[in-house]
Structure 1
Amino acid sequence: MPFKLQRFIWPAVFLLIGSIAAYYGCSAESHAVQEQMIGYPNSDLKAHSLRPWLLGLLCFLPFITSLAYSLSGTLDRYTMRQFLTAFSICFGALFSLMMLEDLQDNLSDFKESSDAAALMAKHYLVKLPSLIVFILPYSLMLSLLWCLGKMSRSQEIVSMIQTGRGVTRIVAPLIGFGVLAAVICIIFNYHWAPYADGQERTILQAAKGDITAEANNVAYQNHSNTRQWFVGSFPYRHSDGAPLEDISITEMDEDNHIIRRIHASTATWSRQDKTWTLVNPVIYDLTVSPMPTIKKLEEPMITKWKETPWQIIKPGLKPPYLGIPGLNSWLANHQEHPLSDKRSYLTHWHYRFAQPFICLITILLAAPLGIVFTRRGIGGGIAVAIFLCAGMIFCSTVFPTLGESGHLSPFWAAWATNILFTCVALVLFYRRMTGQPIYQAVMNFLASER
């Protein structure tokens, strides 16, 4: 009995840590959602409200995983220990390499900041979700080939099969870990990974002290079709009161006749009283015929327009930097916007859900290639795995591009890679379960194609 209770020590520890992390993390995320709705009153509230819940689920995933491990059988726990050792080494190595490469590229920028240490910490904390999503599939591929290859060489796989377990049952806990990795990627892809990609350049520009634009030449029309905005430059700090630059505003009547145009050097929105302040405004009154009257104001022009900077910038934001809530909001409000192609946003919306399943497909591909029953070793399986991995990278880049250009529907552009390589994985699994060679079959196929 004490031994059995000892299994649940780690689940209890992870439950405590997860509860504390969820309490503070979900509170902070709920506050961020409230701030989001202030700036984007027409955002998808349901999609944004899901963010704290997903963050809470992420905090409890270590507890759920450790509990499943504690309740599993002896052979499953042994297989997972072997795999987790290999995964920790592979993930740590790839993570360290990516961090060192990024640090080498951006160290000169960090040095230009007055507080380099704090800026580096902020940069890599924001970048973490995107980095995890990027390296997880490669870590799974390498660690699975290493783990199963090692167990095959030591005849452990054969011993497990002799106990009555099939190949599918042996790799079942590994497939479960692939599902876990896919869930983690889905959570990060929902909001935090795209946000990290969009904020990375902002932090680096802040390190150098440069003032750059988050978006340029953005056109926006309000829902009543009575006011059109054209903003030459959106600063990154527009949410903190930084002025929008090079403003042109066209006002129309109910019959869509232009009645007035306003040009201003800058425009600032106040979060306190919800007013716009236009600096150096030039007003063109087009209701006067035959020539419009031009009026230059020396004092700033203050208006009570309902638009917010967040609403105006939304059509100019690039889809790779928008998560599911952002894409939902854009598709609901700007599908017919003349300066934005909805195919890109639809493709990225589907890709947000399709990309995480690459982790599970990687497990399904690597498992039959890592298990060998002959003396040939796993060299052939590694070669085939590298070839398939390169193919997945190629397809996951080409298919979405075809979707954005209109040559494929957004759904098929996002999911085609998953469907194609799932079929390949099922074929490999079938050949491994039936004892048919994989590497030699691939070589014979390539030879016949010549």
Structure 2
Amino acid sequence: MLKILDKYILKRYLVTFITMILMFIPIGIVIDVSEKVNKMIENKVAFSAVAMYYLNFTIFFANLLFPIFLFLSIIWFTSKLANNTEIIAILSSGISFKRFLKPYIIGASIISVFALLMGFFIVPKASEGYWNFRYNYLIGGGKDEMQDKSDIYRQISKDEYIYVSSFNPDSQMAFNFSMEKFEGDQLKYKVTANRIQYNPKDSTYTLYGFKKRKIGVLDDQLVSLPKKDTVLNIDIEDLTPVVYIAETLPLYELNSFIKKEQLRGSSNLDVYKVVLYKKFSIPVSAFILTIIAVAVSSMKRRGGMGINLAIGIVIAFAFVFCDKIFGVLGQKSTLPPFIAVWIPNLVFGILAIYLLRNAKR
């Protein structure tokens, strides 16, 4: 009896969730096409590029709105069970509310694993295609639009720091270059140049207006040359990564990228960490939202399914709003990214426990 019941609820859980996604994604595509079709025609975008963009669009937004789709689908079919008095019959037969939740937790586990794997490997590739299309065809500036190319600071090793006032990715040239070498708190030497040019053939750099000041105990040594070719520990392509670069990297590459940017003293480090932590927090939210949805919709209400859906929509959008607000705080404020990302799950986890206790009564 229980196995049949578990299969029945689990099937409804998964089918309703998939149906909800298949219903709303086409609506999102139609709205997006209506807003951007003129720009696509103006830029003469090939049909294959548009088709690939909307494939990436589907994956990108399904992942972005995953909590809302999951929450509303559970509210929908659980409310139908409650209105048909099926839940009352199940609990009246002696099955505990905790046992009744089992197929929901199994469904949440399946969705969580799927969301985790998507976030690790598939969503980054879709995000790259989505953002590249937008900035190449819809905004008009390509990746350069999303690069901060002025006043760039980098820590390139444990004790070496560089600065350039501006950088041109097309010519691969930077201006007002300086590099400082330290031993502990003591400056050992400083290199400056009016401009610095990257040479891709041999991966060297040409420094124009080269000056090197070596700090001595009693006096300094100064070397000045009109031009000098040298090798520097700088990855020219990573000098000004696009802001959304973290969203386009699989998990193993993202971890390596964050370590490299941390060593370089990147100003966008918190942005990258928020992306990393969300890969784990979003799948966990599936369990929290599942418990809240069941607790809210398992009770038969006088207003019927509409009341449950209204409550569900408010809670779902409150969760997404909270997730976005704290995500921005983690990127832009002094709030640690790890804490900022997990606060929504903590708050709504407490809400889930409270609602579950009331539902059991």
- For Structure 1 versus Structure 2, the TM-score category normalised by the shorter chain is 0.7 to 0.9
Matches of 2:49 and 2:212, distance apart in 1: 50
Aligned counterpart in structure 1 of residue 74 of structure 2, from 144, 157, 167: 144
- What is the TM-score with the length of structure 1 in the denominator? 0.65
Asked if 2 retains the 8 angstrom alpha-carbon contact of 1:350 and 1:411, the reply is yes
Counterpart check, 1:89 vs 2:19? yes
Matches of 2:257 and 2:162, distance apart in 1: 17
CA deviation string 1:59-117 (max 9, x = no partner): xxxxxxxxxxxxx9322222233334433332112211222222223323332455521
Counterpart check, 1:412 vs 2:342? no
Matches of 1:211 and 1:410, distance apart in 2: 28
Asked if 1 retains the 8 angstrom alpha-carbon contact of 2:243 and 2:268, the reply is no
Residue matched to 2:99: 169
- 1:413–1:96 CA distance, 2 compared to 1 (3 A): same
Asked if 1 retains the 8 angstrom alpha-carbon contact of 2:132 and 2:142, the reply is no
Counterpart check, 1:423 vs 2:350? yes
CA deviation string 1:4-27 (max 9, x = no partner): xxxxxxxxxxxxxxxxxxxxxxxx
Matches of 2:286 and 2:295, distance apart in 1: 15
Asked if 2 retains the 8 angstrom alpha-carbon contact of 1:227 and 1:249, the reply is no
Q: State which drifts further: 94-103 or 305-314.
A: 305-314
- 1:91–1:186 CA distance, 2 compared to 1 (3 A): same
Residue matched to 1:207: 137
Residue matched to 2:217: none
- 1:411–1:216 CA distance, 2 compared to 1 (3 A): closer
Matches of 1:327 and 1:226, distance apart in 2: 23
Matched to 1:140, the amino acid is L
Matches of 1:251 and 1:376, distance apart in 2: 69
Residue matched to 1:250: 178
Q: Secondary structure at the match of 2:166?
A: strand
- 1:330–1:230 CA distance, 2 compared to 1 (3 A): farther
Q: Secondary structure at the match of 1:165?
A: coil
Aligned counterpart in structure 2 of residue 356 of structure 1, from 274, 279, 283: 283
- 1:350–1:341 CA distance, 2 compared to 1 (3 A): same
Residue matched to 2:65: 135
Matches of 2:280 and 2:27, distance apart in 1: 27
Residue matched to 1:222: 156
Matches of 1:290 and 1:426, distance apart in 2: 69
Equivalent residue runs for 1:4-403 within 5 Å: 73-114=3-44, 116-190=46-120, 192-194=122-124, 196-207=126-137, 210-213=141-144, 214-217=146-149, 218-223=152-157, 225=159, 228=162, 230=164, 232-233=166-167, 235=169, 243-251=171-179, 256-261=188-193, 263-264=195-196, 267=198, 269-270=200-201, 274-276=202-204, 282-286=208-212, 295=226, 304-313=231-240, 324-335=251-262, 337=264, 340=267, 342-373=269-300, 375-403=302-330
- 1:413–1:295 CA distance, 2 compared to 1 (3 A): same
Matches of 1:133 and 1:292, distance apart in 2: 56
Q: Secondary structure at the match of 1:421?
A: helix
Count of paired positions: 347
Q: Which has the higher contact order (CA 8 A, sep 6+)?
A: 2
- 1:129–1:219 CA distance, 2 compared to 1 (3 A): farther
Matches of 1:115 and 1:398, distance apart in 2: 35
Matched to 2:190, the amino acid is I
Q: CA deviation at 1:251?
A: 5.0
Identity of aligned residues (%): 18
Q: CA deviation at 1:369?
A: 1.6
Matches of 2:303 and 2:179, distance apart in 1: 76
Asked if 2 retains the 8 angstrom alpha-carbon contact of 1:403 and 1:413, the reply is yes
The alignment's C-alpha RMSD in Å is 3.7
Matches of 2:163 and 2:50, distance apart in 1: 37
Q: CA deviation at 1:141?
A: 1.7
CA deviation string 1:152-186 (max 9, x = no partner): 22222233334432333334222222222222222
CA deviation string 1:241-294 (max 9, x = no partner): x64244554355675422441515x64534xxx52476xx63333569999867
Matches of 1:247 and 1:191, distance apart in 2: 38
CA deviation string 1:16-67 (max 9, x = no partner): xxxxxxxxxxxxxxxxxxxxxxxxxxxxxxxxxxxxxxxxxxxxxxxxxxxx
Asked if 2 retains the 8 angstrom alpha-carbon contact of 1:229 and 1:312, the reply is no
- 1:345–1:210 CA distance, 2 compared to 1 (3 A): closer
Matches of 1:85 and 1:315, distance apart in 2: 38
- 1:116–1:231 CA distance, 2 compared to 1 (3 A): farther
Hey, which of these two has a bigger chunk of strand by percent? 2
Asked if 2 retains the 8 angstrom alpha-carbon contact of 1:275 and 1:303, the reply is no
Which sections of structure 1, spanning at least 5 residues, go unmatched?
1-71, 236-241, 435-450
Asked if 1 retains the 8 angstrom alpha-carbon contact of 2:17 and 2:74, the reply is yes
Residue matched to 1:11: none
Which sections of structure 2, spanning at least 5 residues, go unmatched?
215-219
Matches of 2:338 and 2:266, distance apart in 1: 22
Matched to 1:360, the amino acid is F
- 1:90–1:112 CA distance, 2 compared to 1 (3 A): same
